[in-house]
A and B are shown apart, each in its own frame.
Chain A
Amino acid sequence: MKLIEELKKNGKVYKEEKNEVWFIIPYKKIRDAIKSVFDSGITRISSISGYDNGKEIEVIYHFVKENFLLNLKVPIPKNLSEINTITDMFPGAFLLEKELSEMLGIKIIGHPKPGKLFLPEDFKGKPPLRK
């Protein structure tokens, strides 16, 4: 597939299964990678998962096209803790990014409506899913 080749320029495949490809993309190249997904005609983002592995926050974007699942993993250094929004290209990521932001304490740069989703607006404290 053309998209896979395109993505291989920005990152590398670390797992491949039936109908599933898992990429690891360096933090700096994520914008290009997302752009190539958008250009390939995929419109559906099913989920965004986040995981705190101790050193860094891993954000995983799960894109779907029918039965094909494309997973892009981006490790974000903890001292940075910010990432560009993808809502401008994938409007379906609106809530997913808000949730990611509040639960793992990642600032989403350029999100159209930053703020809390599930937590109270005045909530202050450690993001709940940080280890």
Chain B
Amino acid sequence: MHDMMIPFGPAHPALPEPVYLKLFLDGEEVEDVDFSVGYNHKGIEKALEEMDYFKNVFLSGRICGICSSAHSTCYTLGVEKLLNIEIPDKAKFIRIIVSELERLQSHLLWLGLLGHEMGFDTLFMLAFREREYVLESLELMTGKRVVHDINTIGGVRRDLSHETMIKLVKNLEILEGKIEYFRKLVRKDFLIKKRTLRIGKLDKKDVEELCLVGPVARASGVLYDIRRTDKYLKYDDLNFKIVTQRKGDAFARTLVRVREMIESMRLVRLAIAFIEPGPTRVKPILFFPEKEVISRVEAPRGELIYYIRSNGTDKPARVKIRTPTYANLLSLKKILVGYTLADVPVAVASLDPCLCCTDRVTIVKNGKEKIIKWEDLHDHEHH
């Protein structure tokens, strides 16, 4: 029997996104945990079936605000596979630069939130201040700070000018010093160590069994990175390290993400060096045969996988998305049970949950047995 059930969320000051955890406690200790998601449903999988392939590039980029280009890259890679087209090298490198900058800003955002979770708000301020350099670079490249919309079927929508490259490199130079500071801070700071060491432990077996992905898997010593396994875009031409740790606690996950930021910056620099003048897109022949494809990318939070099926029309028949946080949710029980209630926010934050991605499938009007069509969703906006 449990002493008490404490609800955590769906709206909780420690987590800006809606997830509902039921924590069953014995005194201070968490004995069992149950979770429910679905507070953030946007009906995107259904909406993707209602629009044509080109419009879907923009919709897929709006599944999530933090990993926007990961989603649209995965979608466009899938459609390019469907159409059997090869995009120009320059477009591949531009996609890499945007993806890596996105990883950088996502990890910085996460570092800030982790600081906030453990009551270290100075770290939050610092991380968000440095994140501005990344957002500024992204704005220079794509015209947008958060949702980048750089991808299109057959390449990228914007060329990278020489002046932009110089500015990017300048911003990276500033950032390198700042991230190095974060790396030292995370290693040495008493508070961070006290709150994250030996919290939320996941061993290698759990990771393999529960199919966990991304930095969470790598912090437990599982070398699983789609950039390395699938070698999509031009990742096999660029020399980078896959960061792993063995301990599998919240501290290891912090170290993995901080060191990944350094690798991301290196990847951006390398990609800039590799860019050669040339076209940025090819014009695809829009004929969609009946086919099904799988496309995978490494989003900031791990493996993102799209299943796209075409039926000969200009709209996809089915798009199934499995996002990284969705896969990592299963580890909640492992990282919370046996620890105290006060460790819950830090342990949950160490997963870097992104519920915008997770809750996306289909929404149905409560009880009315009516599927919301794209037009209805559109109407909803105006009410």
- Residue numbers of A with Cβ under 8 A of B are 15, 19-20, 22, 43-47, 49-51, 60, 62, 66-67, 69, 71, 90-92, 94-96, 99, 103, 116-120, 122-126, 128-129
- Which of A22, A90, A117 touches B37 (beta carbons < 8 Å)? A117
A-B contact pairs, 16 of them (CB 8 A): A43-B211, A44-B208, A46-B305, A49-B318, A50-B320, A51-B317, A60-B292, A67-B229, A91-B209, A91-B330, A92-B330, A117-B37, A118-B361, A120-B38, A122-B367, A129-B318
- Which of B210, B294, B369 touches A125 (beta carbons < 8 Å)? B369
Q: For B231, what are the chain A residues with a Cβ–Cβ distance below 8 Å?
A: 67
- Which of A92, A103, A122, A126 touches B327 (beta carbons < 8 Å)? A92
Q: Are A123 and B364 in contact (CB under 8 A)?
A: yes
| Bound CA span A17–B349, Å | 39
Closest 5 pairs between A and B when the two form their complex, measured CB to CB: A92-B211, A125-B369, A118-B38, A47-B322, A49-B320
Which of B36-60 touch A at CB < 8 Å? 37-38, 41, 45-46
| Bound CA span A20–B307, Å | 13
CB-based nearest A residue for B329:
A95
| Bound CA span A129–B363, Å | 10
Q: For B329, what are the chain A residues with a Cβ–Cβ distance below 8 Å?
A: 95
Q: Are B305 and A94 in contact (CB under 8 A)?
A: no
- The interface size of chain B toward A, counting residues with CB under 8 Å, comes to 39
CB-based nearest A residue for B321:
A47
CB of B175, distance to nearest CB on chain A (Å): 32
Q: For A51, what are the chain B residues with a Cβ–Cβ distance below 8 Å?
A: 309, 317-318
Residue-wise interface mask of B (223-240) relative to A, using a CB-CB cutoff of 8 A (1 in contact, 0 not): 010000111000000000
Main secondary structure of the interface of A (DSSP, over half): mixed
- Residue numbers of B with Cβ under 8 A of A are 37-38, 41, 45-46, 208-211, 224, 229-231, 292, 294, 296, 303, 305, 307, 309, 317-318, 320, 322, 326-327, 329-330, 359, 361-364, 366-371
Q: Are A20 and B330 in contact (CB under 8 A)?
A: no
CB-based nearest A residue for B327:
A92
Q: Are A128 and B229 in contact (CB under 8 A)?
A: no
Q: Are A71 and B320 in contact (CB under 8 A)?
A: no
CB-based nearest A residue for B205:
A43
Q: For B320, what are the chain A residues with a Cβ–Cβ distance below 8 Å?
A: 47, 49-50
Q: For A120, what are the chain B residues with a Cβ–Cβ distance below 8 Å?
A: 38, 366
Q: Are B209 and A126 in contact (CB under 8 A)?
A: no
Q: Are A128 and B330 in contact (CB under 8 A)?
A: no
| Bound CA span A35–B254, Å | 37
Q: A43-B208, A51-B318, A118-B38 are in contact. List 7 more A-B contacts (CB 8 A).
A: A43-B209, A46-B303, A46-B322, A67-B230, A92-B330, A103-B362, A118-B362
| Bound CA span A116–B362, Å | 13
A44-B211, A47-B307, A94-B330 known; A118-B359 Cβ under 8 A: yes
| Bound CA span A13–B351, Å | 38
CB-based nearest B residue for A68:
B229
